[in-house]
Amino acid sequence: GAVVSQHPSRVICKSGTSVKIECRSLDFQATTMFWYRQFPKQSLMLMATSNEGSKATYEQGVEKDKFLINHASLTLSTLTVTSAHPEDSSFYICSVLAGASSYEQYFGPGTRLTVT
């Protein structure tokens, strides 16, 4: 399967600042990427679907102006958490759709965001 990396793996930021998380598909051209968040001891919740060259599709209840997603190339999608608050502290995971006719996803290792 594809190798997906995320950077940084951990980040601590102060309340009110913005932080960018990168998701890279290292050996696979990813037309579609997904962003999830996972609270401690909970399941993954889909935040948005990111399509290369177009605007992301956000799930209900996810603020698109707060969680900015950019998918400018087939190997890179970024999630920017703007004006972060402590309640944004979470584990953010990206994934890559395996192919146009496949529902399988390859997941990144996740990014632990802590907002102080």
Partner 1 sequence: AQSVTQLDSHVSVSEGTPVLLRCNYSSSYSPSLFWYVQHPNKGLQLLLKYTSAATLVKGINGFEAEFKKSETSFHLTKPSAHMSDAAEYFCVVSGTGGFKTIFGAGTRLFVKA
Contact residues: partner 1, CB under 8 A: 1, 4, 6, 32, 34, 42-46, 49, 57, 91, 93, 95, 97, 102-110, 112
Shortest separation between residue 31's beta carbon and partner 1, angstroms: 11
Bridge-based pairing state of the strands 57-58 and 4-7: unpaired
Comparison of 17 and 59: residue with beta carbon closer to partner 1? 59
State in angstroms the smallest separation of the CB of 22 from partner 1.
14
Euclidean distance between CA atoms 32 and 80, whole angstroms: 18
Q: How far is the CB of 93 from partner 1 (least distance, A)?
A: 6
* Closest to partner 1 by CB, 7 or 82: 7
Cβ atoms within 10 Å, residue 17: 12
| 86 vs 90: CA distance, rounded Å | 9
Tokens found for residue 104: 């399988």
